[in-house]
Amino acid sequence: MALLRHTTDDVIERQALTVNPAKTCQPIGAMYAALGIHRCLPHSHGSQGCCSYHRSTLSRHYKEPAMAATSSFTEGSSVFGGQANLLQAINTIFSVYDPDVIAVHTTCLSETIGDDIPQIAETANNKGLIPEGKKIIHANTPSYVGAHTTGFANMTKAMVDYFATSTTEEKVEGQINLIPGWVEPADMREMKRIVKMMGLEGITFPDTSDVLDAPLRAEYKMYPDGGTTVEQLAATGDSSGTIALGPVCSGPAAEALKAKCQVPEDTLPLPIGLRATDIFVQHLRKYNGGEVPEAITAERGRLVDMVSDMSQYFYGKTVALWGDPDQLVSLTQFLVDLDMRPKYIITGTPGKVFLRRIAEVLGEEDVKKVVVKQGPQADMFYMHQLIKREKVDLLIGNTYGKYISRDEDIPLIRHGFPIIDRVGHQYFPTCGYRGAIRLCEKILDAFLDRQDRDSPEESFELTM
Amino acid sequence: MSTDRINTPDLKTPSEPFEVTTMTAEQIKDELTRQYPSKVKRKRDKQILLNEKIEEADGTLTLPVINANTRTSPGIITQRGCSYAGCKGVIMGPTRDIVNITHGPIGCGFYSWLTRRNQTKPPTDEHDNFMPYSFSTDMHDENIIFGGEKKLKAAIQEAYDLFHPKAIAVFATCPVGLIGDDVHQVCREMKRELSDCNVFAFSCEGYKGVSQSAGHHIANNGVFQHMVGNQKTEPEGKFKINLLGEYNIGGDAFVLEDMFERCGITLLSTFSGNSTVEQFEQSHWAQLNCVMCHRSINYVADMIEKKYGAPWIKVNFIGAKATAKSLRKIAEFFDDAELTARVEKVIEEEYPAVRKAQEEILPRTEGKRAMLFVGGSRAHSYQELFAEIGMKTIAAGYEFAHRDDYEGRKVLPDIKIDADSRNIEELSVEKDEEHFREPQTNADIEELKKGDFFQNYQGMMADMGEKAMIIDDVSHHEAEKLIEMCQPDIFCAGIKEKYAVQKLGVPCKQLHSYDYGGPYAGFQGAIQFYQDIDRMVNSKVKDMIKAPWE
């Protein structure tokens, strides 16, 4: 029996109904980004349910506490505005949870009412509700604009708007800013490792490593050891340059920093796969005199070795992909480099740039053979219909693909957000050369397990 | 009774006062609220109390008064969700053949997509099952500015064209309420237009009420108005019941469906675990309604009784003894020798395995201490299961309950209706002259009415130990302090609390999702629960937390 029994291959154009979305809403991205500031409590300005849903989804994905407060709007606040709620919340939060920063993001409710967060924060300040040295920052994240990635970008940009300061004309040599984009804590740790190996001092923001992968030590830290400190965020204005990974999630913050503190920026693809990591390392060379340590070149070589050794299993395999634009562009590039064939590429996140970038990655000729869809009705229901019309060898995307995987008997590699039915993604990076090796391993495991399962007894192979 | 009863031994440890070695319960209570701003503290002081029961000479209990179903103070890290979550997720989610369209930006529909473990079992490939799908109007800013009614209408049409469901339900999210889209009008129009599809809407905007509870009420009103009573011919079955407030988490409903079938009881509908439109539509033909989760659904039981005549009883199928007791209560209502014999036979068949499991596990669990802060019912009903393996519940509270869930239904007339509750519609229900039937039973109905047989719920506090700590709408801060001070052996909560609790080295059992385990209902479910708790409280991992050099 089919789990998605109502999905047929007959594609009817839809204008209004989204079925099985390949995106979610802004505030959850803002919440995740804010957790990457040290001693910061994210605050959801709206109804309780938004905060509850976002915390639950983040917890299910990271298997970690995701702490955030809410303005707990009721009908009254929806009519009269949420100022009283936010003022009370600020007072309560500083008394009870003592964060260094409260990062307020709005919801569709408070946006529709038109609550002005900076004005409310100023009122809180005038009323003496903000203790000395403590900060309130904010991002506008109406759920009816953009997607979860936009919310992440907006809160990351807010870190620049509120904290970055330029203290000298001269920029600090060897100090760069790294904006990692929406990736796993392990990816952030891996990117920092590469920066360090390149001999650079990096300020990474936001940084959820050591926040959303905290160890079990029989003690609970409301604010775990990780996260970018306010001092570091301030110092970003003095860095020699910014490397922003992923234009959707990291671009706006890098541009804001350039405008505010004249820090030059490069917005690069997320370093997933060989070429995107090459681009990352190449840009780091700008700041360290051009040296690439042998250890990094060796890591790269091991990746190339694995790709070369196992080429026969990658060649020509077709893939359906869905998720966030920054992830999809780099993943597509990597698959193409592995001689695989991305066939359906779907993101619910609006934004036309995505289509152009995917076209660049696929090349003028090949892009015509691929269905790329973004924005309204670019959902997993549509992707499933395409798969029913013409099957693929592999699915790459979040947990929600498991229903298609089972119905169509196609292996699924979990990548992106959210992954709520497997572990490992928090701990093992897919970024950088080492991450790419892991991605290859996962792809190979899927294909080789499949071959073992399907091959007749006489051709069941011991070595592969 | 014509059959010998199998003895269902009470393993419940005697109620003991709350105690930790270093602090009194009063001191703990003070510690929990010390850090709050004065306004918040004043409020929380009325929501945290010690279960000091006064037993009158005639046996009646006087319980302390708790402040429940009030707003959570802004800024507090709360367990609570919203009205939409209660309506779409909890109540309407488990019905397989309704296309549930969330009208709003994408988030609400996304987060409520499959996350409540709504299992279902369509009998054949031909039967509808929309549960693995998430439907939304994915509103964008232009819909917020110019209104979303047109898009909603088109979405309903597209859903109909694609899936031809029996019913389409629409759920209003926060911004929809603000911009004033008339979801009910849109649905009425579409229902007329589509003719063979029941289309209806819920005004369950997230800001309504103070918790999920408002959404349960809104959903149940909708189910009652739009579905209950639509089936005009009486279904087959000698002993027909409905099970209300059972949501089939982890397959609980499957266990209970099987159990009723073996007893010869016809389960007309489950509200709403593994449910269908047809079940709702025929539910008014039941002779008896059995209420599991009092909080989420007592309104429906009352409305059915008033309109159609079937009385309701409180049951609990969580816990082996509770299950046996509830089955016997149903048999007592029908008072039929054959039914009673079959019920006793089922208990007799099931109980040996239960006893065996209890005997095996008891030495490892007896005397251990649990805290439960969940839901509107589970914080009470799961105490039965813990008691069956000798574990004490030293602190408990509900996430979204009202006073009657703590203090029993006798306080209903005393509950003050505040502004947040007044906004939730109370349906005025009248007797349906055509379909109303006096209770159909062999039992002496007047005699049953005299006792506490019908419409009775004693509340959680009556069952809990003296001076146990009762906390309504527990906050993260309080939970953390409570665990640090009292060091329970297990803490029961939800996903948002789970990992924070576990960082402290205390296992956290999720009682909303069952940690992806279960079923825990009925006899087999009870055994499953004992085993899961044994594993959790005796897991080796807690001895490994400190490194040898630490």
pLDDT for B1 equals: 44
The amino acid occupying position B497 is E
Between chains, do B503 and A214 touch, taking CB under 8 Å as contact? yes
Can you name the residues that pair with A103 across neighbouring β-strands?
A: A42, A137
Q: Greater confidence, B3 or A301?
A: A301
Between chains, do A220 and B480 touch, taking CB under 8 Å as contact? yes
Do residues B457 and B404 lie in contact, with contact meaning Cβ atoms separated by under 8 Å? yes
Between chains, do B75 and A66 touch, taking CB under 8 Å as contact? no
What is d(CA A139, CA A161) in angstroms, rounded to the nearest whole number? 10
Which one of A16, A221, A403 has the shortest CB-CB distance to B137?
A: A16
DSSP notation for A3-44:
TTTT--S-----SS-EESBS---HHHHHHHHHTTBTTEEEEE
* Nearest CA distance, A121 vs chain B (angstrom): 14
Give residue-wise pLDDT tens across range A214-230. 999 999 999 999 999 99
**Residue A179 and residue A236 share a domain:** yes
Between chains, do A78 and B207 touch, taking CB under 8 Å as contact? yes
DSSP letter at B92 equals: I
pLDDT for A458 equals: 97
Do residues B189 and B150 lie in contact, with contact meaning Cβ atoms separated by under 8 Å? no
Between chains, do B128 and A218 touch, taking CB under 8 Å as contact? no
Measured between CA atoms, the residue of chain A closest to residue B151 is A16
> What would you report as the CA-atom Rg of chain A, rounded to the nearest whole angstrom?
23
Domain boundary among A128, A163, A198: A163
Do residues A328 and A299 lie in contact, with contact meaning Cβ atoms separated by under 8 Å? no
Domain boundary among A235, A263, A295: A295
In B, which residues are within 8 Å of A64 by CB distance?
499
Between chains, do A144 and B136 touch, taking CB under 8 Å as contact? no
* Helices and strands of chain B, counted as H and E runs: 22, 16
**Residue A320 counted as domain residue:** yes
Q: Say whether pLDDT at A317 is over 50.
A: yes
Of A31, A62, A75, which to mutate for an interface test with B (greatest number of B Cβ within 10 Å)? Answer: A75
Q: Given pLDDT bands bounded at 50, 70 and 90, which one contains residue B18? A: low
Give residue-wise pLDDT tens across range A233-256. 999 999 999 999 999 999 999 999
Do residues A413 and A446 lie in contact, with contact meaning Cβ atoms separated by under 8 Å? yes
Which one of B115, B125, B134 has the shortest CB-CB distance to A21?
A: B134
Tokens of B83: 């009205």
Q: Say whether pLDDT at B75 is over 60.
A: yes
Which one of B40, B419, B546 has the shortest CB-CB distance to A92?
A: B40
Cβ burial A27-53 (10 Å sphere, 16+ → b, else e): bbbbbbbbbbbbbbbbbbbbbbbbbbb
What is d(CA A285, CA A279) in angstroms, rounded to the nearest whole number? 10
**Residue A395 and residue A358 share a domain:** yes
Which one of A74, A112, A143 has the shortest CB-CB distance to B107?
A: A143
In A, which residues are within 8 Å of B83 by CB distance?
49
In B, which residues are within 8 Å of A218 by CB distance?
503-505, 545-546
What is d(CA A89, CA A77) in angstroms, rounded to the nearest whole number? 13
pLDDT for A128 equals: 98
> What would you report as the CA-atom Rg of chain B, rounded to the nearest whole angstrom?
23
pLDDT for B423 equals: 86
Domains assigned to chain B: 12-80+365-408+459-516 (3.40.50.1980), 83-209 (3.40.50.1980)
**Residue A95 and residue A38 share a domain:** yes
Of B112, B174, B475, B476, which to mutate for an interface test with A (greatest number of A Cβ within 10 Å)? Answer: B174
Between chains, do A145 and B141 touch, taking CB under 8 Å as contact? yes
In A, which residues are within 8 Å of B496 by CB distance?
52, 55-56, 59, 65-66
Share of chain B above pLDDT 70, in %: 97
Tokens of B19: 């105690």
Between chains, do A59 and B498 touch, taking CB under 8 Å as contact? yes
**Residue A178 and residue A290 share a domain:** yes
Average pLDDT rounded to a whole number, residues A162-183: 96
Measured between CA atoms, the residue of chain A closest to residue B148 is A16
**Residue A245 and residue A326 share a domain:** no
Do residues B332 and B344 lie in contact, with contact meaning Cβ atoms separated by under 8 Å? no
**Residue A243 and residue A335 share a domain:** no
DSSP notation for A348-396:
-S--THHHHHHHHHH-TTGGGGSEEEESTT-BHHHHHHHHHHS--SEEE
Can you name the residues that pair with A320 across neighbouring β-strands?
A: A344, A395
Give residue-wise pLDDT tens across range B342-371. 999 999 999 999 999 999 999 999 999 999
Count chain A–chain B contacts defined by CB atoms under 8 A: 271
The vertex-B512 CA angle with B509 and B515, nearest 5°, equals 45
pLDDT for B23 equals: 85
Which one of A67, A74, A218 has the shortest CB-CB distance to B504?
A: A218
Domain boundary among A163, A195, A213: A163
Between chains, do A47 and B174 touch, taking CB under 8 Å as contact? yes
Average pLDDT rounded to a whole number, residues A116-143: 98
**Residue A78 and residue A50 share a domain:** yes
**Residue A302 counted as domain residue:** no
pLDDT for B12 equals: 62
* Mean per-residue pLDDT over chain B, rounded: 95
Tell the burial category of B179 from Cβ atoms under 10 Å away from its Cβ (0-12, 13-18, 19+): middle
**Residue A205 counted as domain residue:** yes
What is d(CA A311, CA A429) in angstroms, rounded to the nearest whole number? 22
pLDDT for A366 equals: 92
Measured between CA atoms, the residue of chain A closest to residue B541 is A216
In B, which residues are within 8 Å of A65 by CB distance?
496, 499-500, 503
Between chains, do B158 and A14 touch, taking CB under 8 Å as contact? yes
Q: Distance of alpha carbon A86 from its chain centroid, rounded?
A: 28
In A, which residues are within 8 Å of B205 by CB distance?
47, 78
* Nearest CA distance, B268 vs chain A (angstrom): 25
**Residue A378 and residue A261 share a domain:** no
pLDDT for B3 equals: 56
Average pLDDT rounded to a whole number, residues B61-74: 95
Of B71, B110, B179, B506, which to mutate for an interface test with A (greatest number of A Cβ within 10 Å)? Answer: B110
Give residue-wise pLDDT tens across range B480-529. 999 999 999 999 999 999 999 999 999 999 999 999 999 999 999 999 99
pLDDT for B15 equals: 56
**Residue A443 counted as domain residue:** yes
Average pLDDT rounded to a whole number, residues B233-258: 97
Average pLDDT rounded to a whole number, residues A51-67: 98
Give residue-wise pLDDT tens across range B154-197. 999 999 999 999 999 999 999 999 999 999 999 999 999 999 99
Give residue-wise pLDDT tens across range B137-155. 999 999 999 999 999 999 9
In B, which residues are within 8 Å of A74 by CB distance?
71, 207-210, 420
Do residues B461 and B403 lie in contact, with contact meaning Cβ atoms separated by under 8 Å? no
* Nearest CA distance, B74 vs chain A (angstrom): 4
Of A90, A108, A212, which to mutate for an interface test with B (greatest number of B Cβ within 10 Å)? Answer: A108
ipTM at complex level: 0.97
What 3-state DSSP class applies to B82? coil
Q: What domain range is A34 assigned to?
A: 26-163
Between chains, do B207 and A86 touch, taking CB under 8 Å as contact? no
* Closest residue by Cα to residue B269 from B213, B310, B328: B310
* Nearest CA distance, A225 vs chain B (angstrom): 14
Q: Given pLDDT bands bounded at 50, 70 and 90, which one contains residue A69? A: very high
pLDDT for B264 equals: 98
Q: How do A318-322 and A341-347 pair as beta strands?
A: parallel
Tokens of B184: 């009910």
pLDDT for B2 equals: 45
B269 CB-near residues (< 8 Å, 6+ apart)? B242, B243, B275, B279, B280, B282, B283, B286
What 3-state DSSP class applies to A319? strand
* Closest residue by Cα to residue A326 from A397, A398, A440, A250: A250
Give residue-wise pLDDT tens across range A7-38. 999 999 999 999 999 999 999 999 999 999 99
Sequence-ordered alpha helix ranges (H) in B264-388: 277-282, 294-308, 320-334, 337-365, 378-388
In A, which residues are within 8 Å of B77 by CB distance?
67-70, 97
Q: Give the domain CATH number at A264.
A: 3.40.50.1980
Q: Given pLDDT bands bounded at 50, 70 and 90, which one contains residue B19? A: low
The amino acid occupying position A351 is G
Determine which of B25-29, B272-276, B406-410 has the lowest per-residue pLDDT on average: B25-29
Of B166, B487, B495, which to mutate for an interface test with A (greatest number of A Cβ within 10 Å)? Answer: B495
Which one of A6, A24, A218 has the shortest CB-CB distance to B107?
A: A24
Q: Say whether pLDDT at A138 is over 70.
A: yes
DSSP letter at B389 equals: T
In B, which residues are within 8 Å of A20 by CB distance?
113, 133-134
Backbone angles phi, psi at A367, to 5 degrees: -60, -25
Can you name the residues that pair with A135 across neighbouring β-strands?
A: A101
Q: Say whether pLDDT at B4 is over 80.
A: no
What 3-state DSSP class applies to B397? strand
**Residue A447 and residue A317 share a domain:** yes
What is d(CA A266, CA A270) in angstroms, rounded to the nearest whole number? 12
Q: Say whether pLDDT at A151 is over 60.
A: yes
**Residue A117 and residue A63 share a domain:** yes
Give residue-wise pLDDT tens across range A336-380. 999 999 999 999 999 889 999 999 999 999 999 999 999 989 999
**Residue A192 counted as domain residue:** yes
Cα dist from B539 to A322, B505, B536, B542, whole Å: 39, 11, 5, 7
* Mean per-residue pLDDT over chain A, rounded: 97
**Domain count within chain A:** 3
Measured between CA atoms, the residue of chain A closest to residue B507 is A218
Cα dist from A83 to A120, A128, A170, A295, whole Å: 6, 15, 42, 54
**Residue A327 and residue A384 share a domain:** yes
**Residue A129 and residue A41 share a domain:** yes
